[in-house]
Amino acid sequence: MTLETPSLDQLQRRTRWRAAVAALVMLAGFALLLWRLHHLQVAQHERFAALAEANRLALVPIPPQRGEIFDRNGKPLARNEGVYVLEVTPALTPDLDATLNSLAELVAIDADDIRSFRRKVREQRGLGSVPLKWRLTDAEAARIAANGFRLPGVQVAVRSMRHYPYGEVMAHIVGYLGRISERDLQRIEAQDALGRYRGLEVIGKEGVEASHESELVGWPGWEQLEVNAAGRAVRRLTSVPAQPGRDAILTIDVDFQAFVHELLRDKQAAFVALDPRDGAVLAMVSTPAYDPNAFVTGLSNEVWTRLLEDPARPLLHRALRGTYPPGSTFKPFMALLGLEAKARRVTQRFNHQGSFQIGQQVLHDRKSACQSGVDLIRALTYSCNVYFYQLGVDLGIDAIATFMTHFGFGSPTGIDLPNEAAGVLPSREWKRSFFKRRRDQQWFTGETVSVAIGQGYSSYTPLQMANALMILVNGGLGPIPHVVDHFRDRRSGAIIPVPRPPARFVPLDPVNVEAVLTGMREAVRVGTAARAFAGAPYRAGGKTGTAQVVSTQRVHRDADAADEQDHAWFIAFAPAEEPRIVAALIVEHGGYGGAVAAPLMRIIFDRFFGVEPKPEWESAR
């Protein structure tokens, strides 16, 4: 078989065909290239010009200065301080471990700093700079700057840092700042407020810092920068300054607050003082407390765990969230209900001989003043349990629960602080909703007897007790308690008032109110608090209380037989004629209210009214 050799003509035709195909392919390629060039440079000119301009320009947020917090006399409670911060950008650091070791030779970096740094690096996945150590000294900042050439990705920045000058004294009221969490971001997004947090890393977590976040945070500004191909700023083109947050001026007198805090420092206790004329909080103390400055840069796991597991519960704001049986401090309100419901008259006397029988159980009150001839004034003066046992049975739990809601028992007061506890005002309805088993839902007369003397299921906060007393001394008028008096514009100094809800009003017979207040004044003059207030240069009224926290089988112990587990209560007002202060004080596991809480209240009131303290009161500290 032989192969036929193509002719010269055939070879020429093939060559011309291949050349034509190649030309067509080249022509199509050039046409596609020309179309693409036209598309990019003509049809899409505006789009790509904008993208190029965006690559040349950078819009950088300017975080606002947070509003500061002051007491009523202008003393700073939360301030912004410029501090040196050692920052590391992991993405620019070739060997992070080696860099950290080098930095440890230049500045004091402890294990907590390293752990916190690595946690933050993980959280933000190595993008951007991460603070390693706050509050560098001038010498430390200089050493870092001098060695910067061998520490890529390391810089010293000046940042604004929150500082709380009074630490533990104001911790539970002022609160603290913390890093913005995922939950915070979700809440901010729901409020359509993401724009306000551009460039910010922290947010109010507790206290006034949290409840008035929207006033304190301010509005961020921005600056437009021209950047080079490496992303470094070449020059500033334009800027809009940030708008600082507003300063908050509180109703608190921090000197008075600090005095009470020091008085209660070694106790698990809470104190609330209100101005009955407008509901302003004069002091609100919870001990023990914590240092809010430790939260600003982030707590280590060890410190956080230690705070959570501390049996003294320093994180608990006892005045706002601690709930306790009110004990005999509940009796003035029971007495008022008895008069308002016409179940009692002021001069009506009873000869119970200090005993009360319910079923097969006989309850005793062995105080001599409570044996016979007990009227309403004497019952309050000497805290006669039997009088109130019978009153509770005569009134019934439904009437008690309905009346006490008017004084704020069982519901938040509405104070401008977050997460206020509601407490428990027992009632038939409450018991049905609280207990799941039907047999546990029935209300018994014995439970009414317990409620009548502030025991049983009753549980209220010190703030609720002070608030209820304020309504009582005002004859039914109850302004809403508040800790922020007003805001102040940081630039102009203009005063911005705080909108407040209208005061509550409970229609009460002034004659009945005066009878109850007389009983409370007598309790201070000759009754259960007489020893504590002997010789006071001002007239006061008050009511002692011993909240029994042992088993329910012992809730009817004698009122004057306090157990070491019991909480000591005292509520008071002064001056008796025109009160300028109403207050509630509880000492957990303090014992008898008249022996523990009342003397402490005397020291506090003396300080409030500028009375020179007596040496004999030092032992009450």
- DSSP assignment string, 24-44: HHHHHHHHHHHHHHHIIIIIT
Q: Where are the alpha helices (DSSP H) in 474-573?
A: 510-525, 530-533
How many Cβ atoms sit within 10 Å of the Cβ of residue 58? 15
Strand partners, 362: 357
Query: What sign does the dihedral 326-331-332-334 (CA atoms) show?
Result: positive
Q: How far is CA 368 from CA 383, 520, 548, 614, in A?
A: 11, 19, 22, 31
Q: Which of 179, 141, 181, 183 is nearest to 158 (CA)?
A: 141
Q: How far apart are CA 415 and CA 481, in angstroms?
A: 5
What residues contact 489, with CB distance under 8 A and at least 6 apart?
A: 246, 247, 496
In 3-state terms, what secondary structure has residue 333?
A: helix
Cα gap 376→397, rounded to integer Å: 20
The residue with tokens 């002719």 is 7
Please tell me the distance from the alpha carbon of residue 377 to that of residue 517, in angstroms, as a whole number: 9
DSSP single-letter state for residue 83: E
* Structural tokens at position 77: 């409670």
Helix H or strand E segment including 400? helix 397-405
| Residue of 523, 509, 561 lying closest to 378 (CA atoms) | 523
| Contact of 72 with 275, CB cutoff 8 Å | no
> From the CB of residue 166, how many other CB atoms can be counted at a distance below 10 Å?
19
User: Is residue 111 classed exposed, middle or buried when 0-12, 13-18 and 19+ CB atoms within 10 A define those classes?
Assistant: exposed
What tokens does 491 get?
């630039």
Would you say 562 and 556 are in contact if contact means Cβ atoms under 8 Å apart? no
Q: What angle do CA 140, 146, 148 make, to 5 degrees?
A: 100
Q: Which amino acid is at 119?
A: R
Query: Quick check: is 160 catalytic?
Result: no
From the number of C-beta atoms within 10 Å of its C-beta (0-12, 13-18, 19+), residue 230 rates as exposed
Whole-number Å distance between alpha carbons of 27 and 409: 90
What token pair was written down for 274?
């209100």
What is the β-pairing status of strands 247-250 and 69-70? Answer: parallel
Amino acid at residue number 205: K
**Residue from 278, 274, 407 nearest 335 by CA:** 407
Q: Please choose, from the candidates 53, 9, 585, the residue with its C-alpha nearest in 3D space to the C-alpha of residue 322.
A: 585
Which residue in 116, 129, 211, 328 is the catalytic one?
Answer: 328
Provide the annotated active-site residues. Answer: 328
